Structure 1
């Protein structure tokens, strides 16, 4: 494989259906002739994964591959990019390793010579690296006679080193046989990496001190948290050994922490790194990391009631959007989210960088729940003055989903028949056993049926009714499998229709055909945001400064919700009236390193009442969960058809 093939195959993975070499050239920036010349080699690379590059006359090319095969190909492309000296990923790792571990007067010229690329390429690389380091409050400086250096607080530097190393060791081969006394939460890959960088006795010392801290706190850290804490402490031993003790809190708020976690931090550090110097900041930062680490137990309700109040306000809207208000009675859910909000505050006050890529799986498995949580997250963000990460929103979505599963309420119905009581009872049990979540509370013979006394009641009728009636599912007297299927489908449709009726009226006010662009050929997400913002501004929905605010928020927390959809939204700020601009891209573009987007809804919200906001988000919640609708939107001929589909009752 070479760089050209890697670039072309990467785009093929993101593209479904047929595409021409001209379109592939447009997507990649590689010439048509070069792509055609490389197609046979590209095809052979793809076949290694039992996938196939199909060629059809007058249609073009098509990658025939399952999602698992696409994922395998992408993993190997990333591994290739990390090892190829001509790749930015390789150069990034080389430059960061040099600046982290060997900060010895490296200049642009020296990096250029060692990596065998031009000075211009190194300068571009350094700009990307500077953007990466800014996530950790670090900067790159060029000091005369001293070369390029990373500047910032010691704690931020440690966080950047841990993050950078994590991105590398995950894909490496690993040691198969682990020491018997190694903690079960340290994976083979992690242990392999640890032994490459740290003495084995330090690994054992750190894990033992962490386990003592768990006993002291009466908590058990989950595997990811235990492993990350181990890694941080191993690095801390090395840094302090080099005389780099934390001495500056920088601009951090340093909120007061629970004394038990400070005592646990002291217990750990005094055991693994006995020091005579001032270790107060080392204790405090480690205590903060211990406090936000995930544990195997449920969250403990914080002493400060504000977190519970914020959780209740947020849940009342999100659960109403999903028509799951009964879940608000779940005390465990309220405790878990209140506790999590306190941890989020501590993370922001101490500027802790914690991640686990949870959102990638949650967006795929719980897309509609994640979308509902994300679209109203501004309520929490405004009250806590923070921007939540995708992983934090995913954790909230996971907690809500689990609570919904625990609090499921059955749908009640009445069975209307013209048969004998024994057969009616048999049919009642048959339906209840076959249709999950449905309870037949009564069976009524047609002679005793009085419609005026059963308004609003769901009815399953084996008797053809002479007059149409709402909330009624007519089936045959046999109650066969086709009837069972009809009942299940009809229940879903009735629930959906009930949820969407009011929502549509509010939402229609915010959509216009003139706010829709289809098949736009733009490859940068900032350009997509600007295009949509221009539409809203030109039609009087927003004020100047809106697009910059959206971009600033996207940099902090991407608003992707899975299925190739992104939904940036702003409440009140720079908004004159509620409106939604829609951009459908001709080709998917990278919105995050792991997510491609083809459809953007840029939402400006200015509703005054919580009821309006609720209806607005109910529409989007229903839409995101409707795979068929999204498919129609992606296939719509132009803005007019797109708008008609969007506003149809089917949506």
Structure 2
């Protein structure tokens, strides 16, 4: 008997409480009848006993308690990360991917029963999905054979099976997931974990990782994450197939040519170590298979000149391609040319071998590049004819898309240098001070012209065409995601790095020099209308007044700093919340009790999150709770809470939330300095961690005083 999601939540709650709890209390918390909660408690207790733990500790009048809760907690954490059915219902597409991968790797007939138990679905559903698998395998010249009472098996050439496996992995699992799995032996994605289990079962990943690192040292190059993930996958497939006697039957490349390469020597060393570890004999056909992947592996750094003669030929081709593109766009890349040529040469060295020997590469950004850079894509495709003539084969659109990226980046830098200030539109979901905050942070860092700030609903094609970039804190329903730059409302350091890919930072102006220039302009105006008896004395007195005004402005800023708004009575520590709505409510209730905001303001925040999504979760673990409802605000104010247990807001990158700043402002300016202080706080990892773990209000006050 396994636990469903609701039973697991009840058990987690009981573990964290670590005290007696009445059945009636549980029924009320989970909004079910006493009878239903007793049934679930029995189910949970049976599950624990089945897995070697004791029955619940029960006391009359006090309730029930988990026995040995610490040990149970450790077991449950492991259980939820490793065991799947109770937690996750696979989609049809995910099931098909997993079953195809398993069938392609099996040498014997597989029983349908195994898939029924693993995926928790009916036989009838499986039979329908096997029809889809059979159809999908046809494009690889493979056939799914089904024999009643015997099972299922995929028939076809070994190389076709391996190509199918590689395609499934590259299309369904990201490079980042493969790299993370190689280092952590786990994945946050349940379907990826299932696929990794099928692919790497009984494979020593650390051993393979060491082989690839040694290859990088010997070849004097650093593989890209994409190439690293591909090599781990290829080596794992080869080992498992050779172990069951399924080897490649034909040479994939001229063996005499292969033997002349450094990659061949490195591969021989890899194969010898694999043979010794797994007690297998790897044939020459398999060696050439690995050599091809080493030759075609994308690199991010290469200190080894593969072939000077070939490099010179490639540089000549790159020069022809670049001149063609320059003539089309009527530009001269000039000083940008050196960096462009180096980058393309580094990319094209392995690309030659991939194309020559049919080793496919998938660009995960392909559709976006082809759509966003449609004009450039066509121009580069034409320019690549020079390269295709040299190789003797067509590149294919995915290979071309990587070359497009190089030219897109250099043309963007060229246009920015020649066109002056970039024109920017800022979009904010709430329409409140966030847009001004974003605008001010952008102007601080970049030399741009902000055309205006808008809500996401008011972005039209006319507005889009009027600017160079749209920078938004929320998703814009009317635009594709590649048409705008999404950032946090507080503009984190990561956001600034992202924006630097599009805009050049402004030069810092010397503050003292700026003041002298202003002083000279003021004196110039005075001289037009007045006779000055002592110019030097007047100069000193004006400068003194400027400094005095600066001190007043600094003082005003300090009054409206984060510590000005966040007092002890506006802080709550280690709150226990059941969901994100409860989190928002508790943060707002602090201000409602002081009559700073109304109940409608709280409701407005929740409605905005339901409408737009978790855009207020601005950084990992941090939510900035607010809404544009000035009529429901009696006083500009803020509250700060941290949570006993993290809560999910369904934010793709920043869940779960641990800290919430709730703010309400009657104007567009008075809170901005405090928000800037909060932004600086959450960008300081040590202070943010201290804020998350703070167990007293005094600790929180000490942290925010810095900002």
Between structure 1 and structure 2, the one with the greater Rg is: 2
Query: Which one has more relative contact order, counting CA pairs under 8 Å at least 6 apart?
Result: 1
Q: Same fold (TM over 0.5)?
A: no
TM-score bracket, shorter-length normalisation? 0.3 to 0.5
So what's the TM-score if we normalise by structure 1? Answer: 0.43
So what's the TM-score if we normalise by structure 2? Answer: 0.41
